[in-house]
Amino acid sequence: MITYRDAAPADGAILGGIARATFIETFGNLYSLEDLTAFVNKGSDAAYADELADPDIAVRFAEAGTAQVGFAKIGGLKLPADEHGASADAAELRQLYIYRPWHGVGIADVLTDWAKDAARARGASELWLSVFTDNHRARRFYARHGFAEVAPYEFMVGKQADVDILCRAML
């Protein structure tokens, strides 16, 4: 049985651990060790704890028993979406990460619905995200949840630039 709970500042190590592990699990083979290390080191446990203390950030965990198996994080829009017509009240789905063994059981659907509801409750009229161009599974998932692909976006992992796609869902 999967349960959900809001994260607290004391959850920085949990959030950081999931974020680093799931990024490596999903994308680790795409980067040099130097670039991958530089990227994941930016997401220290202390940095995630600081984010969780920021009232602009909200995180929801998915839990199987007492183990956290995924999360979604929203906040104010930081992506370069202004040039693509982003509204002043736009929010951003900054991360949606789930451990691979838990893919396909509905967790991502629940967390995406939570992200949209939480953004709407904050007064946002739209929710933006970026997704890796070659992550076709995620692109299909977001399309099913009403996210339209808007424009390419350069996402840096260390010194390597990847092409992501900016996506927007109207709330």
Give Cα separations from 47 to 41, 78, 121, 158 (angstroms).
10, 17, 26, 17
88-133 pLDDT, tens per residue?
999 999 999 999 999 999 999 999 999 999 999 999 999 999 999 9
pLDDT of residue 141 exceeding 90: yes
Closest CA to 61 of 130, 11, 122: 11
pLDDT at 46: 92
What's domain 2-170's superfamily in CATH?
Gcn5-related N-acetyltransferase (GNAT) (3.40.630.30)
The pair of structure tokens assigned to 129 is: 């995200």
pLDDT at 41: 86
Domain ranges of the chain: 2-170
pLDDT at 85: 95
pLDDT of residue 169 exceeding 90: yes
Query: At 18, is the pLDDT very low, low, confident or very high (cuts 50, 70, 90)?
Result: very high
pLDDT at 43: 87
pLDDT at 97: 97
pLDDT of residue 143 exceeding 90: yes
DSSP code string of 77-117:
--SS-GGGT--TT-EEEEEEEE-GGGTTSSHHHHHHHHHHH
Higher pLDDT, 41 or 20: 20
Report the C-alpha gap between 103 and 110 in whole angstroms: 12
Confirm if 168 and 79 have CB atoms less than 8 A apart: no
pLDDT of residue 159 exceeding 90: yes
Within its chain, how far is the Cα of 70 from the centroid? 10
pLDDT at 104: 94
Closest CA to 169 of 141, 139, 148, 144: 148
- Between CA 120 and CA 127, with CA 125 as vertex, the angle to 5 degrees is 80
How many percent of the chain have pLDDT more than 90?
Answer: 93
Report the C-alpha gap between 133 and 58 in whole angstroms: 26
Mean pLDDT (the chain, rounded):
96
pLDDT of residue 8 exceeding 90: yes
